[in-house]
Amino acid sequence: WNFTDFMHSFMIVFRVLCGEWIESMWDCMLVGDVSCIPFFLATVVIGNLVVLNLFLALLLSNFGSSSLSAPTADNDTNK
């Protein structure tokens, strides 16, 4: 695995976000040096925050849409 093209880069970042980042970081450190550590840590932290934010947005939008549609159904049945 390397960062030579987009597809391999995407797969490495996806692997890092799935939690399998230790092996990729060690491979990077064998070829390069310790400068790989900030890249992998930033990818893990920022990527997990983005995934968490997307999950919370989905959760809140589902709660918001169900709470808005429930009172209108009750108002129609009471008439």
pLDDT in tens, the chain (79 residues): 677 889 988 998 888 888 888 888 888 888 888 888 888 889 889 988 998 998 998 888 887 766 555 555 555 565 5
> Which pLDDT score is estimated for 70?
52
Task: Pull the structure tokens for residue 26.
Answer: 């060690």
- Number of Cβ atoms within 10 Å of the Cβ of 21: 19
> Which pLDDT score is estimated for 7?
92
Task: Pull the structure tokens for residue 1.
Answer: 């695995």
Cβ atoms of 37 and 26 within 8 Å: the answer is no
Domain residue ranges in the chain: 6-74
Residue 28 DSSP class: H
The answer for residues whose C-beta is within 8 angstroms of residue 3's C-beta and 6 or more apart is 9, 12
